[in-house]
């Protein structure tokens, strides 16, 4: 399989139509990734942590500078109920169901089998158990300030990682206790899943499972008491070839070739030197410049 067709990359790309960040195909919990996590994705797409900006004890013991208090969000998590999330090429239809009793007649439950079919060569489906929790940092500018103040040490300790993989500071996550993921990689491929239908709301229950499939597809079921992370957002930092500066990319459009970065994704643009960021700029940092086309550079 070509690098760009690896399943986790395909899934992240397909789920970009949803405004929640990058979709994660492989299981990772909030113990591993949360707002303030600084790390990278290795060659297999697994998350590797470097430092937790939310842990002052770890920062001090490892010799990193402490971020200012504005980086932390004191508002608590946001909560939401999601329906199924699909890529634009996927269609769904209910194909049947059963009624079952749980101890008493009053607690009748309906189980619905739902079929999903891809109309193109690639399609994705995500089911989540409610509630979905959103956690985020308080200030991206503070995260940028921290990386600017620690960039020399980051380059000294993790030069090869930055060169090969790039480094992320996670700014926002969406998590659930249980999720089901399917990816269809062939035209007219389909998958089926059993869901509980309680009071007209399809829900992912412990008994839910992927069942029949046709064509080419991959399915996963993830569950964890620490909660499974389904989407992340963050700031990506990398070192440009033949340059000594650390540049940052914010927003999915600028990061589209950098999530789960592989050799085929590496940028060779050595002339992108606009919007150079110096430490002394940060009290007046304007977050609106995220929409500019060029990456920003740290000295």
With tokens 């790390």, the residue in question is 39
Would you say residue 131 lies in a domain? Answer: yes
Q: Is 173 part of any domain?
A: yes
Does 293 map to a domain?
no
Q: Which residues pair with 178 in a beta bridge?
A: 223
3-state secondary structure the chain: CCHHHCHHHHHHHHHHHCCCCEECCCCCECCCCCCCEEEEECCCCCEEEEEECCCHHHHHHCCCCCCCHHHCCCCCCEEECCCCEECCCEEEEEEEEEEEEECEEEEEEEEEEEEEEECCCCEEEEEECCCEEEEECCCHHHHHHHHHHHHHHHHHHHHHHHHHCCEEEEEEEEEEEEEEEEEECCCCCEEEEEEEEECCEEECCCCCEEEEEECCEEEEEEEEEEEEEEEEEEEEEEECCCCCCEEEEECHHHHCCCCCCCHHHCCCCCCCCCCEECHHHHHHCCHHHHHCCCCEEEC
List all residues 6 or more positions away from 287 whose beta carbon is below 8 Å from its beta carbon. 140, 141
Please report how many Cα atoms fall inside a 13 Å half-sphere around the Cα of residue 109, on the Cβ side. 16
Within a domain: residue 277?
Answer: no
The whole-model pTM stands at 0.83
Residue 30 lies in a domain: yes
The pLDDT tens digits for 138-189 are 999 999 999 999 999 999 999 999 988 999 999 999 999 999 999 998 888 9
> In terms of pLDDT, which residue wins out, 292 or 209?
209
Look over the chain and give the mean of its residue pLDDT values, rounded to a whole number. Answer: 82
Looking at per-residue pLDDT, the higher value among 214 and 140 belongs to: 140
- Angle made by CA atoms 188, 189, 194, in degrees to the nearest 5: 125
98 lies in which domain range?
Answer: 3-160+169-232
Residue 188 lies in a domain: yes
- 126 in Cβ contact with 181 (< 8 Å): yes
Structural domains in the chain (count): 1
pLDDT of 16 > 80? The answer is yes
In tens, the pLDDT along 64-93 reads 999 998 898 878 899 999 999 999 999 988
Q: What average pLDDT does the segment 204-219 reach?
A: 90
243 within a domain of the structure (yes/no): no
- 269 lies in some domain: no
């Amino acid at each position: 399989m070509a690098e760009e067709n690896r399943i986790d990359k395909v899934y992240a790309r397909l789920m970009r139509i949803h405004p929640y960040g990058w979709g994660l195909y492989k299981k990772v919990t909030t113990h591993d990734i949360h707002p303030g996590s600084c790390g990278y994705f290795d060659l297999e797409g697994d998350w590797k942590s470097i430092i937790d900006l939310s842990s002052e004890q770890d920062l001090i013991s490892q010799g990193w500078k402490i971020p200012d208090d504005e980086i932390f969000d004191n508002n608590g998590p946001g909560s939401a109920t999601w329906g199924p999330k699909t890529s634009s090429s996927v269609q769904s239809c209910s194909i049947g169901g059963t009624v079952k009793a749980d101890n008493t007649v009053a607690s009748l439950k309906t189980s619905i089998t739902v079929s999903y079919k891809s109309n193109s060569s690639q399609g994705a489906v995500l089911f989540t158990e409610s509630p979905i929790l959103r956690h985020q940092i308080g200030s991206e500018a503070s995260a940028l300030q921290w990386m600017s103040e620690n960039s020399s040490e980051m380059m000294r300790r993790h030069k090869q990682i930055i060169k090969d993989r790039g480094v992320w500071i996670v700014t926002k996550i969406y998590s659930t206790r249980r999720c089901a993921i399917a990816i269809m990689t062939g035209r007219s491929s389909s998958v089926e899943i059993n869901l509980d239908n309680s009071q007209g709301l399809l829900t992912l229950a412990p008994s839910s499972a992927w069942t029949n499939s046709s064509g080419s597809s991959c399915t996963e079921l993830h569950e964890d008491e620490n909660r499974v992370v389904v989407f992340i957002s963050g700031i990506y930092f990398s070192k440009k070839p033949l340059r000594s500066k650390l540049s940052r990319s914010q927003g999915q459009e600028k990061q589209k070739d950098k999530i789960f970065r592989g050799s085929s994704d590496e940028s060779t643009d050595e002339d992108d030197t606009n919007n150079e960021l110096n430490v002394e700029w940060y009290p007046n940092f304007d977050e609106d410049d995220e929409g500019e086309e060029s990456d920003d550079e740290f000295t």
